[in-house]
Structure 1
């Protein structure tokens, strides 16, 4: 596999940066197979639009000491994590048991903005600057590609929550998601599986994405909280309390006695969120130029759904590559 090229990005304003990103892709390794050619940028596969957006964010985004970043590989529970994090971080302003809670009228994806996925063609980082502190932000970026200061210095105090998921469920969820939102996504599941297995998928290789955050969580557990989707599903209340502690807003004794952690779990449950009109109807453009149904973010959410899609041979094949790539790291599935 081709190696990423080092790139110096000059901060010359949005127009100049956009043009620079365009010339950048022309020099990057590229590969076809999905709906558009992907480019190998800083060790990971991105769409042309993502390369442009990431370049702009890396050049212009200014991290703050009290930022909280929710990081995920695509289709690893991002929407659920956003709902939980928003509810926990804002419960002093929005009571969990309130018929006017923002989660009842706004899509979780809209309550926590992405760093690198603009809802317009050109990302205006100034909108992130305008957000009051502490900011709650989200990203699919690998750890090494986070904007300067976030991924390179613990002195800033910026905290990161990383949520990963069993790779066999990831590839199934990814295929269903692309098939639903992209009219130009025409590949069959077996082909998507092979590309994913090879490490060629959006923000892939997935194992490198996982390892970047895992290794940093081992080095600096106070700043990087590494979670698994399966563990959270098995005991959501335990993990809600863990997140509250990590966000520096632990539940009080009164909240514990009143069952607030359990109410957070109930409000943010997949079943509850999926059934809300704001999430089950309507469309929105969240990534720039692609109108998507709000329900696209809610399909199954079940652990082990891969058994309905993968043959035993496919499952064993993916298990083997995961074991090989994660060997010696301490991370396992």
Structure 2
């Protein structure tokens, strides 16, 4: 196994100060650093986790959802699980993670002190989400990951099924900006324009953006990978459901398609506690009782916010929009990948 894959790249003092100020949650644990060929940004102690993930066994029937954060991951997870399980809505009344999916790298992307808080806490759901191993699950496995393909097991595209979802970078930037504030992973006073600069530079946990997306785009003709766009899911949900079913080799009746289209509509998903509000139970050291007491005073964080295409127009300055346009054009030079930005 090439050691270059696990190399942690040095970070200049200027970049360290910039990132520590933007993401103080990581600062006290040594901060973050870029790893491997794409400079994938993770906490500084990520190497042993990455070595573990690439060795994950894969069997036919395993399905992996691979995305960057805030690109329709939860939406796709629910769709895939329901299709694969013959629209078992009763069986879907449990948390996506850790009940139905393994969030492969949740421990790796968390600050070390956050892992320890979960380990020392009294929430069995978050402990299982953070520390259980995929090998403990019954087959077939459903896996969610934000890792780029080169940190997934080499046998994945030979034996398993991968559904990759991309979202235009402007909307992802806005959604991630809000997500990181809600889950207290960035300075709440960080201006959006500054975050956009960090986003484009890949100086955000689980970025850079384009190496991740383009690596998957190059595999779009692989029969074991289905490349989807978030914007197409919004535009034609029914067509996307059918496309995913065909990819998974599942035949759906008209009634099943109707039911899936209703249940997977964004408004329905936002009201579904198993994929939205209750997700907080799997990411906190607090018990369900403690979280419910807190929720009585303030609503818990929601994973699903707006799910819109083109929402960046409501938040992004013209100057930042122009900078992102130029960045997108540079990064896509020589590629036929195109985005719908709304």
TM-score, structure 2 as length reference: 0.77
1:29 shift after superposition: 4.1
Contact 1:53/1:122 (8 A) holds in 2: no
Determine which of 153, 170, 173 is the counterpart of 2:172.
170
Taking a change above 3 Å as real, the CA distance of residues 288 and 276 of structure 1, as seen in their structure-2 partners, is closer
**Counterpart in 1 of 2:35?**
41
Q: Which residue of 2 aligns with 1:20?
A: none
How far off its partner does 1:297 sit? 0.3
Name 2:114's counterpart in structure 1. Answer: none
* 1:194 alignment counterpart: 197
SS in 2 for 1:331: coil
Equivalent in the alignment of 2:112: none
| Alignment of structure 1 residues 42-57 onto 2, 5 Å | 42=36, 43=38, 44-48=40-44, 50-57=46-53
The match for 1:112 among 101, 104, 124 is 101
Q: How far apart, in 1, do the equivalents of 2:279 and 2:165 lie? A: 26
CA-based RMSD? 2.9
The change in CA–CA distance for 1:192 and 1:271 in structure 2 (over 3 A counts) is: same
SS at match of 2:58: coil
CA-CA distance at 1:209 after TM superposition = 0.6
Alignment of 1:141-180 (within 5 A): 141-150=147-156, 154=157, 156-180=158-182
The answer for the alignment partner of 1:301 in structure 2 is 307
Contact 1:165–1:230 (Cα < 8 Å) also in 2 = yes
Other-structure match for 2:137: 131
Counterparts of 1:242 and 1:39 in 2: how far apart (Å)? 38
Residue 6 of structure 1 is matched in structure 2 by 4
Unaligned 5+ segments in structure 2 are 108-125, 292-298
* Deviation of the 1:246 alpha carbon: 0.8
Distance 1:63 1:123 in 2: 20
Normalized per residue, the structure richer in helix is 2
8 Å contact from structure 1 (residues 217, 226) kept in 2:
yes
Alpha carbons 1:50, 1:117 under 8 Å: kept: no
Deviations 1:4-56 (A, max 9, x none): 97267xxxxxxxxxxxxxxx86x754743131222111121112465553333
Counterparts of 1:290 and 1:142, CA distance in 2? 31
2:266 paired with 1:270: yes
Q: What is the aligned partner in structure 1 of residue 219 from structure 2?
A: 216
C-alpha distance in 2, partners of 1:91/1:295?
30
CA distance in 2, matches of 1:272, 1:170: 21
Q: How many residues align?
A: 294
Q: Counterpart in 1 of 2:231?
A: 230
Contact in 1 for aligned 2:183/2:301 (Cα 8 Å): no
State TM-score, norm by structure 1. Answer: 0.78
**Cα 1:57–1:142 shift into 2, 3 Å:** same
Q: Deviations over 1:47-105 (max 9, x none)?
A: 2465553333234x21223211100001101111111111111116x1x5xxxx244x3
1:69 aligns with 2:64: yes
Partner of 2:244: 243
Structure 1: how far apart are the matches of 2:68 and 2:80?
Answer: 17
